Amino acid sequence: MLDSFLSAFYEACQKNNLKLTPQRVEVYKELVKFNDHPSVTKIYKRVKQKFPNISFDTVNRTLQLFVEIGVAKLVEGVQDIRRYDGVTKRHNHFHCLKCNKIIDIYDERLDKIEIPKDLYEKLSIIDTKIVFNGLCEKCKK
């Protein structure tokens, strides 16, 4: 799975004239590896193991760059901590209020929900997403 993500990543970098530095590749790998919607801090800690000299700021800026070239998405607000998603394919999220886990939800029925037309007249809507809040299976017990 990681391979297909990586080839899409290389392609996007090429298209956007973004240099493929080993650090950038590592940040991307750590973003998509576990599909756990990591925060900047989490990715920073993982990347630091391989590149001890990398700064938090660099990791932060790299992730923002990834969003700009379309290989990552910013996850909607969870406790004011910015988290990133390496899966850019359309999907919805479930937030566990206890352990802060974000679970991907793929369900066609959710994509069919009709958005009131007048919203589109008033606002310029680029993207829609349904966010569920509650307790995950583990925390429910």
List of residues contacting Zn ion (CB under 5 A): 85, 96, 98-99, 101, 104, 136, 139
Of residues 69 and 136, the one with the C-beta less far from Zn ion: 136
Q: How far is the CB of 141 from Zn ion (least distance, A)?
A: 10
Q: How many whole angstroms separate alpha carbon 20 and alpha carbon 54? A: 16
Of residues 57 and 111, the one with the C-beta less far from Zn ion: 111
If you search the block for the tokens 């391989």, which residue do you land on?
Answer: 50
Q: How far is the CB of 110 from Zn ion (least distance, A)?
A: 13
Q: How far is the CB of 121 from Zn ion (least distance, A)?
A: 29
Of residues 59 and 96, the one with the C-beta less far from Zn ion: 96
Of residues 20 and 81, the one with the C-beta less far from Zn ion: 81
Q: How many whole angstroms separate alpha carbon 67 and alpha carbon 50? A: 23
Q: How far is the CB of 102 from Zn ion (least distance, A)?
A: 6
Q: How many whole angstroms separate alpha carbon 35 and alpha carbon 24? A: 17
